[in-house]
Amino acid sequence: MADYQAPLRDMRFVMYDVFRADEQWSLWPALNQTIDRETADAILEEAAKLAAKTIAPLNRPGDEQGCQWDNGEVTTPAGYKEAYRLFSEGGWNGLGGNPDYGGMGMPKVLAAQFDEMACSASLAFTLYPSLGAGACLAIDAHASDDLKATYMPPIYSGQWTGTMCLTESHAGSDLGIIRTKALDNGDGSYAITGTKIFITGGEHDLSENIIHLVLAKLPDAPAGPKGISLFLIPKFLVNPDGSLGERNTLSCGAIEKKMGIHGSATCVMNFDGAKGYLVGEVNKGLNAMFTMMNYERLHVGIQGLGASEMSYQRALAYARDRRQGRSASSAQQTDTAADPLLVHGDIRRMLLNMKALNEAGRAFSTYVAMQLDIAKFSPDQQERDKANALAALLTPVVKAFLTDIGLDSCIVGQQVLGGHGYIREWGQEQLVRDVRITQIYEGTNGIQALDLLGRKIFQNDGAYLGLLLNDIRRSTKPEDEFAETLLNTVDQLEKLTARLLSQSRRDPDAINAAGVDYLTALAYVCYGWMWLSISKAAAHKLASCGSDPAWLAAKQVTARHYFTRLLPRFHSAAAAALAGTGELFALSEDQF
């Protein structure tokens, strides 16, 4: 089984050569005294060591042992507590957190690389700290100063962890019908009663306290999503001096037996009049929770990328080592009974597909992270507004497409390993099981497609998309090797969008029917833009006598592979998106 090695060279190339993030940092007053290339490289090096030496060794034994539930208490797999202590001591919980409350204040572009490393090493372990970072975003954006000062520093330090509690047994994506109730205690606190399911890290033994962000409704709340409020509910109540008091009236009723991520405790949480505190405004809890959910959706997309990268590393190592058959042209290693798998065209096709999609995915997630940084740190209001629009447009694409590709690449890696990919010994089957959830949680990928087409495009008549397509056109020069192909698909995407907007005005089902195929088509165009940018950056480094010319030349070959073998998938997705709703609604319920 191949050991995980963080792709630091490619991460640095994307950050510095493709997107020139370090130049941006130097221009932003909020960052230019905090982060530079030397500091970022040091952080990446330490992150790579943590991922490879501390987190990755837990992945397989954590999966085999899993979490244990006993009378409401949850025990994580052996080694998790020590690894979490090292993780926390390194400050990784607060890497991108607000420095006013103990975070490191690093840009999201850098944090995204760390997220990928941690997810490649062990998705199950990484879920525990990632939810705390997301909870702090919601608290920081919407809670009172007292709540921020009380709860954010211990989460950033790793002393406490966080969760998000949305789903109920009858209410998954339709949060407007939740039944969890909140009653005003009259002293600034509320009593929360209800049951939430599928709560990642709802109970565990890694931290002293667990801070739950819970959606609930007050008695006089409006019906539907406009009546949802958000509450902060600690497992242990916090005394005025910050010490822990009595246990709150909440409990873990069970943990789920799941297909994968066995080391992550997925809990049923019962709140029995638990004391909580309002976050943000009454009846505007869904808006506050989306601050956390949007962060988590980017992170979930990166989870798909992390699994895909691990799959590629494992499949490549196997293809180099495994001897099977002879090359179609002639024997490559005459001193052995067979040649390595890597001589075979189909093996190379699978590996190059994975490589091309991984490297484009890394660039794409970094690009979206950069939009979040611009929106947060740029002193220019116009730049911030544009970046916010692009991040809103592309967040559902990152979440859905990177996780779809993540599962596909893990299955392809399994195919490269053949029978060894199906058995426990090589670890590939665990990747397939673990990554599968990423297409489902934080909003299924169908919900992401509906969000993209229905909200981010239809509701503003394609204005956000226009910003993206204009940027692609402006950055693509006639002399660029792939310019004609890319610009042709951009034109087709624009026409596709216009036709779907027209369809949706006549047929209310059109958006839901076309959404997934449309998101896929848009994603392949975005990946094409990423590969054009990667290819140009590699050519520039080659022309300036950059080091490692073979590695840079491989970028250009992989770009050609993407444009010839993978971008054509855009056309089938676009055709499917335009197919309309006729046959989808032609069958009666009994005919299914």
Residue 436 DSSP class: G
Residue 296, SS3 per DSSP:
helix
- The whole-angstrom separation of Cα 33 and Cα 50 is 26
pTM of this prediction exceeds 0.85 = yes
Instruction: Name the residue ranges covered by the structural domains of the chain.
Output: 444-581
**Quick one: which of 338, 323, 353, 345 has its CA closest to 413?**
353
Nearby residues of 202 by Cβ (< 8 Å), 6 or more positions away = 163, 165, 196, 210, 212, 252, 265, 266, 267, 268, 269
Residue 58 DSSP class: G
Distances (CA, A) of 591 to 243, 513, 539, 580, 585: 62, 19, 56, 20, 11
Sign of CA dihedral 18, 352, 365, 389: positive
Burial class (CB in 10 A: 0-12, 13-18, 19+), 592: exposed
**Among the options 442, 481, 484, 494, which is catalytic?**
442
| pLDDT at 287 (0 to 100) | 87
Buried/exposed 465-490: b ≥16 CB within 10 Å, e otherwise? bbebbeebeeebeeebebeebbbebb
Tokens of 497: 């969008």
| pLDDT at 331 (0 to 100) | 63
Tokens of 226: 């406009």
Burial class (CB in 10 A: 0-12, 13-18, 19+), 52: middle
Spell out the per-residue pLDDT of the chain, length 592, in tens.
779 999 999 999 999 999 999 999 999 999 988 999 999 999 999 999 999 999 999 999 999 999 999 999 999 999 999 999 999 999 999 999 999 999 999 999 999 999 999 999 999 999 999 999 999 999 999 999 999 999 999 999 999 999 999 999 998 888 889 999 999 999 999 999 999 999 999 999 999 999 999 999 999 999 999 999 999 999 999 999 999 999 999 999 999 999 999 999 999 999 999 999 999 999 999 888 887 777 789 999 999 999 999 999 999 999 999 888 767 777 677 777 778 899 999 999 999 999 999 999 999 999 999 999 999 999 999 999 999 999 999 999 999 999 999 999 999 999 999 999 999 989 999 999 999 999 999 999 999 999 999 999 999 999 999 999 999 999 999 999 999 999 999 999 999 999 999 999 999 999 999 999 999 999 999 999 999 999 999 999 998 876 789 999 999 999 999 999 999 999 999 999 999 999 999 999 999 9
For 508-564, give the DSSP string: TTHHHHHHHHHHHHHHHHHHHHHHHHHHHHHHHHHHTT-S-HHHHHHHHHHHHHIII
Residue 271, SS3 per DSSP:
strand
Tokens of 168: 């109920």
Bridge partners of residue 244, in order along the sequence: 238
| pLDDT at 540 (0 to 100) | 93
- Catalytic (active site) residue 246: no
